Structure formats: C-alpha cells, structure tokens
Structure 1
C-alpha cells in the first residue's frame, strides 16, 4: 500500500524547555501528520546521547534519552512543581538545542520527579524495573559509576569494576545505591511518556518508524556489561574498530571508532544479544530502520590506533542467518534496510533474500560524474523501497540545490522541472511522492522550505549537528492542508481506495 512519512527528530520539536520532548507538542505533531494524510513519523534514535550529542553514539542501545522527558507532563501528574524548572536557563535560541544547558539543568530537575515517583508510584516503578531488568540494572549502575568517576569512560575505572568482578559489582551497587535508583527512575519516566505518545499515534493512524544504529559506542553500558559480544583484547580494549574505507568522498576513509561485534561468539549463543536488541526496538516502534545494513554482509575492520582507515580490511558478517533466527523468534518484522553507499553483489543478494525494503535518495540521482545514469532516479525505484529526497545525513532540498556542484543542481532543475515560484523543494518532494516506492519520506525542513541552516547532521563533522529545532506554529493547518492535497494527488492517503481518514482507519482497527 502506498503511504508517506515525515522525518522529524523528537529533539527538533518546539518547547520552552530547551529541546523537543514527548509531551503536548509531540502529540500535536502526530495530529498534524494525521490531518495531512501522512501515516508514518520517522524519528532518529531516542537513546541517551553522549559526548558530541549524536544519537548514533549512545551510552545504551536499550535506554531512553532523559532530555526527551516532558517537564510539563510531569507537572500535570504531580511529579514536578513548575517553579522547579521554569526559572532555569535552557538556552537562548529557540531554533537550536543547547546541549550544554540541558546537561547542566535537566538531571537536577528530574531528581525531584524521581523522588515523587518513588514515593507516590512505587508499585509502578517496581513493575517497570522488574520488566526491564535484563538491561536496566547494568545501565543504571553504569551511569551511576560514570558520574562517580567524573564522567571517565568505563575502561579507565578501577579493575574490579572495569572487569566486573562479583566483589567489585557488589561494592559499587552498595556505594552507589541512591544513584542507581535515580537512573532506574529516569528510565521509568521516559518509557511512561513514550508509551503515551505511541498510543496517541496509534489512535490517529500514525505509525512511528524508529532508527537503530548498527554499532554501539565503546563507552557504553552495552560493551561494559557484555564484553564477550565484542572483539576486545585482554584489557577489554578493541582490537579493531569500525569505519569505512577511502572512497570518492574521502581519500582517507572514515574512522568511526566503534568496537566490532564478535560474530562467531554471537552465533554460538543464537545471536541472543542482537535479537534481544531488535525485539526491544520493535516494542517501541511500528517500523524499524536499521542503519548500515551492509555490515550484516561484510564489515570494515581497522586496526585500533590507526590514524586513517586506509589499512582496514573487509570481514564477513552473519548474513541472512541472523534474520532467519529473528523471524523464528518474532515472526515477520517491519524492517527497513539502510543500503546506501557502495554496494556489492553480495549485499544486494542479502537485501533481496531478506525481503526488506531498501532506501533510495533523490539527491544522489544527479551526480554528473556518473555517465551511465543513476539507480536513484525515481523511474528506477522498485515498489519495495523507501524513497527520500534526503535523509538526516543529507542537506535539505533547498540547501542541496545551493551547495551541490553546479552541473548536478542544473541537471536536477531541468530533469524535475523545478519551479522557484512554488518552491523548488516541493518539486523534489513531488518526484518521490509520484514514484513507485511504497513509502516516500520527506524531511520536515523541506515541507517548511528551509535551507542548509536547518540541516540536522553533516557526517564527519563536530560542533553544529543535531541542534536544529522548528519554531512554534510550524505545523500549521494550512501546511497540513497543502500536504494532504499532495497525498490525494499521488494516492498516498491511508486506505485511499475507501477514502477513509487516518482517524477512521484507527477507529476501525480498534473495533476489530
């Protein structure tokens, strides 16, 4: 069935408290999507961010981001008093996230809420902790220990805790008991609000597409609590690290620095860690995009300590076996494979065998260096794919037209018959809406007609990423009506054959 989506990070929603959250504005955005005839909200990873603020480098692949907890919702529930958060410095620019201000202020506010949660909702908190024990206990101890060590990475901790000796763990749990309870409580607050938001999305016929990074961060509860799942040496440091080789975009390649998975050991235990990871994600989302899908076929291994990626080499991944085991455990999952970049025949074969839709990016279609044409031109899209103008790693449509090589931008304008009077970004969006792709996703910035100032991320750069935020009123009824008409024209309304609205579809599903 043809459908459409909007890519909008939760952090990018407006709010008076420094960052977008899972509160009233998020629910209003769901309403906007429903009114616009859009049935998928794609978000970026909602995990805790670490140094650099990237949701792709997190302290945990299972935990939720404390910054996304809505303070006004907590106040309405009696878990906060407004004067405990309203007078603080959340940053001076409503169009940008100030992560430094969040780090300084947010956790002190959340301590008030956790104390009241423990006092007034002890049973609910205990049930949550019991249900999520498989990852929550280690995560809470990891965060408490990290704070106790001044933020130092876990491999700089004392040996008893770094190597997780029973004595060292017991001593830390006793010494840090109050902080461990705090971090458990924060996660309870997060998942209570996420469940409410997800329920509201379902009620409006909007499905949430999540995003799962392929690798996890070295300094994470995941690696610290399960070192046997990664390629580490005797001192628990990576033997090799992740990255990508030199290519036309980078003469030295990219050093990502993530530890590599110990696929042989993972296979021996039935890929338990990976299947648990995906299972947890699909409890949060209706659809899951998996980043760097090619890593399941082959992954690039670079010697630890290398200055560039030039000395790396390819190794075999688990292939289709992991997904076969996942399907036996969970049934058929709605997964989107991020298959961008240089693809080999074996990667294409793995994607075909999995049956997952891959991704097509319109901004990649007009590289004039490629004289043979591009697989990213819309007429070549298969139905089983997700089409984008650009992803979170690309510029906005207008930004791309301004920054791309002149010949590429001229070709795009000619090929797509772009009209500045209506907004050239709308012409680019129409190209993917009109394509055969089952799902077409546009960035919210493109619907708003924004340029490079609203770009979410520029890969391999630090300092200005993940900060863009929309201003209040961005999700106007007039914009919803304009988008709705496009969904009508390109037959992407939910259940277009019967003319039912997203709300009608949701109500019928509830009756059934």
Structure 2
C-alpha cells in the first residue's frame, strides 16, 4: 500500500466532549471532523470500535465484530423520535475530562432500553431487516451471547449451564425463545451503531477525512466468537484455554504483558482459508478506510504463555501463519489497506513479512534515543507518531525522560513550545503519514494518558473538555501541516 503525504489525529470517540459522560457519534463527533478539516488534517485514527470488556478495554471485547453501544448518540436517537426530553430526564453531573464507565453504562442502558421499547412497537424498516440478514454470520451468535450473559448474571460463558455453554441444539432453541426480548434489544443496538457510525464516516469522507480503524490480533476468551467457534481456538475439552497470549518483557513492562487471550488454532483456521478472519477484515473495512493491524509481529511468531501463569515471563515464541495468511486474505478481498503495528520485539523475519505484504509500518518518537530525534531515517512508507495510546503523553514523557535528564525546571524551557517542537519533528520527517494523539496537540500531562500497559485501573477514561479545540489551536496545526506539505486540496 502506497501512502500519500498527510497528517492526522489519534482520538478514540469515547474521548470526545459530551454532556452524557462519554464521547459518542453525535454532534460533537461531527464538530471534531470539522476541526480536522479546518486544521488541514486528512486522517482520524481510532481504537477498536467494539464493545469494551475487562477493565473497560476495547482490546478485551466480547465480539470481534459488534460495535460499542456506549458510543450511540442520545441526541440522534432523540432526533429520530425514539427518546424525548422527559425520557432523558436530568443528566448526572459527569466529570468533563474522564469517563466513569460504570455510571455511564448504567445511565445509557436505561435510555437505550427506552429507545428500544419505542422502536420495538413500530414496523421494522427494510434497512433493519437487511442489516440483520447481511450480518447474521456474527450477529445471531453475538446477540444471543449478550442475552445469555445478562441471564447468567455476567458470568463467563464457561460458567453457564453446560448445555448452553457447549451449544447443544435444544438449549440454543430454548434460550432463543425465552430470551427473545433481550436478543431483540441487542439487535437494535447493533443496527443503530452501524447506522450512526456509517453516517459519521460518510460525513468524514465527504470532508476529505479518512478513518483509520484498529484490528486487535486477539479477542477476549469471554466473547461470542470463542463461544460460537471453539474449534478455532486453542481450548481443552472443557473449553478452557491451554495457552494464552501476551508479550515478553519489554520497554513497557519488566515482566512482560499477560493479556490472557486464547491463542488461535491456526491449522484449523487454514482449512477454510481463514474464513473467520476474512469476514472480520471485510466487515471492519465497511467502518474504516484503513486498518491498523495490532501486534502485527504475532502473525510471524507469537508469544505463547501456559494458562495459569501470573506473568508473561515463562512464555515461548511460536511460529504464526506468516505470509500465507495475508496472501489468502488478499486473494478473496483484494489489496488490503493495512498499517502494520510493528513495535516491540521486531526480528528480521517480521520485517521481511511486512515487506512481502507491502504494508507500511510504524515509528514512535518516544522510542527514539535523543540523538536519533534530529536524524532523519529516510523511511517514507511509514506512519510516524509522537506516541500511541499505550504511551505517556508527549508532555508526560518530556517531563520524565527529557526534562529530568537534560534540563532543570529553571532552565526557561516553555513546556508547550517543547511539545510543539517534537510534533514538528514528526511533521517535517520524510514519513508519509504523521499522526499525533490529541492529548499531545493539547499539550496535556500524564493524567491524560489513555492506557498504561500491564495495568487495569484508570485506563481508557480520558476525555477532552468542551472548548479545548480553539481557533488558535486549529490555525497552528493547519500552518504546520501546510509548511511540511502534508495537505493538498482534493
């Protein structure tokens, strides 16, 4: 995939400003796209759009396909007549700069069930029926899974009654009949998610903004995909993982990262030409123009940890499906607009796989030594970041790694200007794409960090405050973009 010279912002939709406690796909998302256009940005990168799971992480989702219903816009549902001001009532005093997920989930679930009640009394539109039919291959399992999860009090699927945990036909029919209302509710949520997001993407594309989506390599054990397709995963006869995913000790953690996701049975997946993966790519490319493939190195070789370990230290490298996997996907879907997340332990074999596939990789300013910052690598087909969602903010990093080592607080450095100097280093580089988290453009400290790998609490919560996207910020970003030829009129 060849890249045109451009720049953009990394911001997950949950981080948008909103009076409802969490960013959503409503008016503020459209305003953000307008900000991107006026500031001459052409790319908007998001994290996985799937429902959040353990630790409220979008990388621990109960589905590889479904959308996060917490992103549904209350304002749009009201415009459609599915909610009234009386339905909404008084809005809790949510904090402006963070998502309190338990409170938001409870608040939104109450409103979304009211919207569903109105939707369910009317005649179903052809668009709704078409959505159900076109997405039946994942939707039917997911909506039943979510209904069952509620029915069994939130227990993981391997703790349900054995008959339904192992999908006996009679049990499936029984619960489909008895949980039909809850099943319909989750169908409604997914239909509305798909409609709101595709409308938003259409608007972004009309403004010259392309969406970069995110495809996690692994999925949660407690997911509809694992429950519905156990043969595709490395599970024992009781449905428990035999080996789990993670990464060895690295920059982020001395004991590695124990993600806990079940590994795939790649030999089994190869038998039907990776059909589950083909559908996954195909569906995500309806929601995004480009896809960042998370942990790309895992397709060359992955870190396998025995189930039950408390850290990722005692793992081993196991060969992945390699180029055969991507060439098979490409045979069915054509060229793949993929960005390879090639950070961490990268071997020559990983580089070779990336080059054979023709995927651009990634570079992160925060990982470079001080002497490397000013030295241009010469790489063009690459995406250059000041930081990713797993990094500290640029200001937080500067304070810890640069200010403490090279300068003193009395040295007269303006921290905001220093952040912009680093942003300019990324923009002036030969890298075709330059992407900056919004936290770095706003010059926020480490309290605005999105995620700290190896931890559970306090992640994924950050939101920007109303009024943060000023005309001055817009102008400064636009001037920098034009200065380094990262924008051209369509």
Residue aligning to 1:439: 433
Write out aligned runs for 1:5-24 (5 A).
5-24=8-27
5+ unaligned residues in a row in structure 1: which ranges? 368-372, 506-512
Residue aligning to 1:510: none
2:304 maps to which of 301, 314, 339: 301
2:232 maps to which of 205, 210, 229: 229
1:322 maps to which of 316, 322, 325: 325
Distance apart, 1:251 and its partner CA: 3.8
Distance apart, 1:121 and its partner CA: 5.3
Residue aligning to 1:139: 142
Conservation of the 8 A alpha-carbon contact between 1:365 and 1:377 = no
Write out aligned runs for 1:57-456 (5 A).
57-89=60-92, 91-120=93-122, 122-123=124-125, 124-247=127-250, 250-366=253-369, 379-404=376-401, 420=414, 423-456=417-450
Measure, in 2, the Cα distance between the counterparts of 1:265 and 1:161.
23
Measure, in 1, the Cα distance between the counterparts of 2:425 and 2:407.
16
Name the SS of the counterpart of 1:404 in structure 2. Answer: helix
2:49 maps to which of 42, 46, 49: 46
Residue aligning to 1:478: 472
Distance apart, 1:113 and its partner CA: 1.3
Aligned positions, number: 484
Measure, in 2, the Cα distance between the counterparts of 1:433 and 1:409.
24
Measure, in 1, the Cα distance between the counterparts of 2:473 and 2:89.
31
Conservation of the 8 A alpha-carbon contact between 2:53 and 2:59 = no
Per mean C-alpha deviation after superposition, the further-off stretch among 283-292 and 250-259 is 250-259
Distance apart, 1:154 and its partner CA: 0.4
Deviation digits for residues 388-441 of structure 1 (CA, Å, limit 9, x no counterpart) = 010010011111011226676669x9xxxx962762110000001000111000
In the superposition, relative to structure 1, how do residues 156 and 422 fare at CA in structure 2: closer, same or farther (>3 Å)?
Answer: closer
1:488 maps to which of 463, 477, 482: 482
Task: Please give the TM-score of this superposition, normalised by the length of structure 1.
Answer: 0.91
Measure, in 2, the Cα distance between the counterparts of 1:307 and 1:397.
31
Deviation digits for residues 165-220 of structure 1 (CA, Å, limit 9, x no counterpart) = 11111111011111001110111111110011011101100001111111000001
Name the SS of the counterpart of 2:259 in structure 1. Answer: strand
Name the SS of the counterpart of 1:423 in structure 2. Answer: helix
In the superposition, relative to structure 1, how do residues 249 and 37 fare at CA in structure 2: closer, same or farther (>3 Å)?
Answer: closer
Conservation of the 8 A alpha-carbon contact between 1:12 and 1:469 = yes
Deviation digits for residues 85-116 of structure 1 (CA, Å, limit 9, x no counterpart) = 24143x53111101011222211211121222
5+ unaligned residues in a row in structure 2: which ranges? none
Measure, in 2, the Cα distance between the counterparts of 1:165 and 1:294.
37
Name the SS of the counterpart of 2:291 in structure 1. Answer: strand
Measure, in 1, the Cα distance between the counterparts of 2:404 and 2:150.
52
Conservation of the 8 A alpha-carbon contact between 1:360 and 1:385 = yes
RMSD over equivalenced CA pairs, Å = 1.9
Conservation of the 8 A alpha-carbon contact between 1:230 and 1:261 = yes
Measure, in 2, the Cα distance between the counterparts of 1:361 and 1:408.
20
Name the SS of the counterpart of 1:394 in structure 2. Answer: coil
Name the SS of the counterpart of 2:376 in structure 1. Answer: helix
Measure, in 2, the Cα distance between the counterparts of 1:266 and 1:440.
35
Name the SS of the counterpart of 2:436 in structure 1. Answer: strand
Distance apart, 1:24 and its partner CA: 0.6
Measure, in 2, the Cα distance between the counterparts of 1:410 and 1:338.
33
Name the SS of the counterpart of 1:31 in structure 2. Answer: helix
